[in-house]
Amino acid sequence: MRIKELTLADMDDAQRAVAEEAIAGKRGRIPAPLRAWLHSPELGRRAQKLGEFVRYDTSLPPALSELAILVTARHWTSHVEWYAHKRDGLAAGIDPAVIDALAMRRAPEFTDPKAKLVHDYTKLLLATGRVPDDLHAAATDALGERGVVDLVGIIGYYALVALTLNAFEIGLPDGERPELEP
């Protein structure tokens, strides 16, 4: 890891307050990127609150949310993000064949048209920074305006997570190996 790992004893009052807030929240722990963000406590506080919302409280069902997270993790080859959300995606009902295709950078086959829209929207937004009118309109028809806003929030937040994990080389849990090729 490229940044000092802080224990609760190492933290100043502001850092400790952020860590304790995360532990008391829906996650019940300090999420991996917060290990870096704690060095900027206000960033950490705000980012972890946004993360709690996009992870647990958006209008999208868990399978669609986790799909967007996995597409984002794959885009950035974020091993820790992939490791955590592959398990969550499977638990949310994402077909293992879809997850395998994402890992190999192949286009998955979807039986759910909403899942295909989430995949295509996420992949194109990450690749180009834009979404064409027809795809945006189809996503809005399927997910509603709130759903598309929530989707973009998920993509943006998990891009921040992936870049944080990658920049500071926050590693996988002991004994785990990366599943993604560059």
Return the domain boundaries, the chain.
13-56, 62-167
What single DSSP character describes residue 10?
T
Query: Check: CATH 3.40.30.10 for 62-167?
Result: no
Under a CB-based contact definition with an 8 Å cutoff, are residues 76 and 84 in contact?
no
Q: According to the model, what pLDDT value does residue 154 have? A: 98
Q: According to the model, what pLDDT value does residue 180 have? A: 97
- CB burial of 80-108 (b: ≥16 within 10 Å; e: otherwise) equals bbbbbbbebbeeeebbeebbebbbeeeeb
The model's pLDDT over 108-149, given as tens digits with 9 standing for 90+, comes to 999 999 999 999 999 999 999 999 999 999 999 999 999 999
Q: Compute the distance between CA of residue 91 and CA of residue 182 in angstroms, rounded to an integer.
A: 26
The model's pLDDT over 1-30, given as tens digits with 9 standing for 90+, comes to 999 999 999 999 999 999 999 999 999 999
The model's pLDDT over 148-171, given as tens digits with 9 standing for 90+, comes to 999 999 999 999 999 999 999 999
Q: According to the model, what pLDDT value does residue 144 have? A: 98
Q: According to the model, what pLDDT value does residue 124 have? A: 98
The model's pLDDT over 33-65, given as tens digits with 9 standing for 90+, comes to 999 999 999 999 999 999 999 999 999 999 999
Q: According to the model, what pLDDT value does residue 77 have? A: 98
Structure token digits, residue 59: 């209008």
Provide the 3-class DSSP secondary structure of residue 177: coil
Q: According to the model, what pLDDT value does residue 59 have? A: 98
Angle in degrees, CA 112, 118, 124, rounded to 5 = 135
Structure token digits, residue 38: 């704690």
